[in-house]
Amino acid sequence: MTTVQSRREFHLDSDTYDDLVAHARSDVPYEVCGLLAGRDGTLTAHYRIPNAARSMTLYNMDPKAMLHAMNEMDDNDWDLLGIYHSHTHTEAYPSSTDIELAFYADAVYLIVSLQAPDAPQIRAFDIVDGQVSERALVVDGERASRSLIPRNARRAGSAGEQTSGESR
Amino acid sequence: MAIEVRVPTVLRKHTEGERRVSGDGAHLRDLIDDVGDRHNGLRAALVADDGSLHRFINVYVNDEDVRFMQGIDTPLSDGDVVSILPAVAGG
């Protein structure tokens, strides 16, 4: 498997970034999944879609919830910008199943890894015809490094230690 | 009898970019044959060699996933809306 480091970027605002991490954490140890819609590269909607597989190693978007989200995007003339899912125990890199089942070549595949529970990581990939190329993830205009710890990363139960979410 | 088919972005290369096409058919299989005749490639994208729907293609009649109906033999009525979506799945 080859990974091409592309110069393309994928932009997220920090609220959405934090939402993706929160969603990933909400059903540990199971994988979660969802869709990001937008227009002209700007996000307009975030859909949490139930994982019909409810598995630690697989996801399969609930067909009906996915249909409703896709129809709403279509009706609003939004594009499907991103497809995300979580890896609760492995790195933020597409598995062989992710690559095999990547049917949406126009969307960017985002993976939220909770492998290091206190340092969740999101990475973005184009997956086209079995070829994986990573995009630089840009959060609020700044490139996220792979070791990025989101601003609200915290242990469950110690939320009070951080009085401000703005610590960059 | 007219049935509207909502075509996902990834399959619009078969419909000259159209997001909706219409067709006829008493059953889903007939509808796929009908629109497939006019939109080359659409049938192969939906139907496997054994005549059933591809495993990773979701087809809905109105809001219902045909897997929970009669699959490719699901009966259709005038005014039904058929939606097609490749599955979003992985590991």
- Contact assessment for residue A20 and residue A150, using Cβ atoms and an 8 Å cutoff: no
Rounded CA-CA distance B77/B69 in Å is 14
| pLDDT number for residue A4 | 61
Q: Does A156 reside within a domain?
A: no
Q: Does A162 reside within a domain?
A: no
| pLDDT number for residue A167 | 36
Q: What is the pLDDT along chain A (168 residues), one digit of tens a residue?
A: 556 656 799 999 999 999 999 999 999 999 999 999 999 888 999 999 999 999 999 999 999 999 999 999 999 999 999 999 999 999 999 999 999 999 999 999 999 999 999 999 999 999 999 999 999 999 998 887 654 444 444 444 333 333 333 333
Contact A74 B65 (CB under 8 A): no
| pLDDT number for residue A149 | 47
Q: Would you kindly state where each structural domain of chain B is located, as residue ranges?
A: 3-86
Q: Does A60 reside within a domain?
A: yes
| pLDDT number for residue B1 | 66
Q: Answer whether residue B86 shows pLDDT above 60.
A: yes
| pLDDT number for residue A6 | 60
Strands B57-61 and B81-86: antiparallel
- Contact assessment for residue A99 and residue A111, using Cβ atoms and an 8 Å cutoff: no
Strands A59-60 and B89-90: antiparallel
Strands A59-60 and A42-49: unpaired
Q: Say which range, A72-76, A140-144, B12-16, B66-70, has the weakest mean pLDDT.
A: A140-144
Q: Does domain B3-86 have CATH number 3.40.640.10?
A: no
Q: Does A144 reside within a domain?
A: yes
| pLDDT number for residue A2 | 53
For residue B5, list chain A residues with Cβ-Cβ distance below 8 A: none
- Contact assessment for residue A10 and residue A136, using Cβ atoms and an 8 Å cutoff: yes
Rounded CA-CA distance B55/A55 in Å is 19
- Contact assessment for residue A69 and residue A49, using Cβ atoms and an 8 Å cutoff: yes
Rounded CA-CA distance A57/B78 in Å is 42
Q: What is the pLDDT of residues B28-56, one digit of tens each?
A: 999 999 999 999 899 999 999 999 999 99
User: What are the structure tokens assigned to A61, written together?
Assistant: 């978007």
Q: Does A155 reside within a domain?
A: no
Q: Does A59 reside within a domain?
A: yes
Q: Give the mutation candidate from A32, A59, A70 for the B interface (greatest B CB count, under 10 A).
A: A70
CA atoms within a 13 Å half-sphere pointing along the CA-CB vector of A128: 11
CB-based contact (8 Å) between B22 and chain A? Answer: no
- Contact assessment for residue A125 and residue A132, using Cβ atoms and an 8 Å cutoff: yes
Q: What is the largest CA-CA distance in chain B?
A: 41
In angstroms, the Cα distances linking B29 to A63, A140, A141, B25, B47 are: 20, 48, 49, 8, 9
Domain of A21, CATH number, reads 3.40.140.10
Please tell me which residue of chain A has the smallest CA distance to B59: A63
CB-based contact (8 Å) between B9 and chain A? Answer: yes
Rounded CA-CA distance A7/B33 in Å is 43
Q: Does A103 reside within a domain?
A: yes
Contact A71 B6 (CB under 8 A): yes
Q: How many structural domains does chain A have? A: 1
| pLDDT number for residue A142 | 87
Supply the range of the domain harboring residue A94: 9-150
| pLDDT number for residue A144 | 78
